Amino acid sequence: MNQTALNLTAITLFTLVMTSLLGPLLHIPPTVPAIAVAVVMGLGTLDTFAWQGQGSNLLLDWVAGFSPEHRDRIIRHEAGHFLVAYLLNIPVTGYTLSAWESVRQGQPGLGGVTFDTTELETELAQGNLSPQLVDRFCTVWMAGIAAETMIYGSAEGGADDRQKLQMLWASLRRSPSESDLKTRLSILRAKTLLEQNQDAYNTLVAALKRRASPEECRQLLASRESEIS
């Protein structure tokens, strides 16, 4: 079961345990908590194996959606990915800002920026992956974490991004310690790029807030080309 589903199940089970303890005071039949536990565990198992955790993603995303700060954090996270990809010439093919948007587009997870990975996949298949291409993709993957850290001082999202970097590093047969170092260096490089292009980043954040298309976002960045470093 993924971490999102585990967290949701833990919260639900805690609530059910408290309900069973307080049941006599609230006149709740003892069979109700037992049935509820069975239903929750069954749905959790189905979500994990049949829906790849997307059901719990949708539920948690719906709950978190009531928080404007959470929505703003997501937008700023994804704007970091988008801008750094633009700066490093990695094509952005689309983006989503919620689990529901991801489901509608046939993508897993809570949302995110999608990239054209053809060049990366081709070099991996040929066994001739250049260090420069590795650096570019690792920096783009860590750019969301870098953006959150730059704005909020810490990052809540980015687990999937870290996993992508770790999977790439594992495919190159590098040690976990090298992966950790690469993660830190990539975050630092992405943060530097974002800080150097703060105005372009703010423009992109505003564009994502109004759900501008990827093409419109690229045009906005191109219009500021003389300001981008």
Q: What is the DSSP string of 130-156?
A: -HHHHHHHHHHHTHHHHHHHHHHSS-S
DSSP H or E segment with residue 83: helix 68-87
Residue 37, pLDDT score: 54
Of all residues in the chain, the percent with pLDDT exceeding 70 is 65
Of all residues in the chain, the percent with pLDDT exceeding 90 is 48
pLDDT of 173-221, one tens digit each? 888 888 899 999 999 999 999 999 999 999 999 999 999 999 999 999 9
Residue 160, pLDDT score: 87
Residue 40, pLDDT score: 53
Residue 36 predicted with pLDDT over 60? no
Q: Indicate the range of 41-45, 66-70, 96-100 predicted with least confidence.
A: 41-45
Q: What is the mean pLDDT of the chain?
A: 79
> What is the distance in angstroms between the CA of the first residue and the CA of the last residue of the chain?
43
Hey, which bits of 97-192 come out as E strands?
A: 112-115
Q: How confident is the model at residue 113 (pLDDT cuts 50, 70, 90)?
A: very high
> 113, 126, 136: which is closest to 193 by C-alpha?
136
> What's the whole-number mean pLDDT along residues 126-143?
94
Complete domains list, the chain, with CATH: 3-64 (no CATH), 68-227 (1.20.58.760)
Residue 58 predicted with pLDDT over 90? no
pLDDT of 73-96, one tens digit each? 999 999 999 999 999 999 999 998
Residue 14, pLDDT score: 59
Give the Cα separation of 123 and 30 in Å (integer): 60
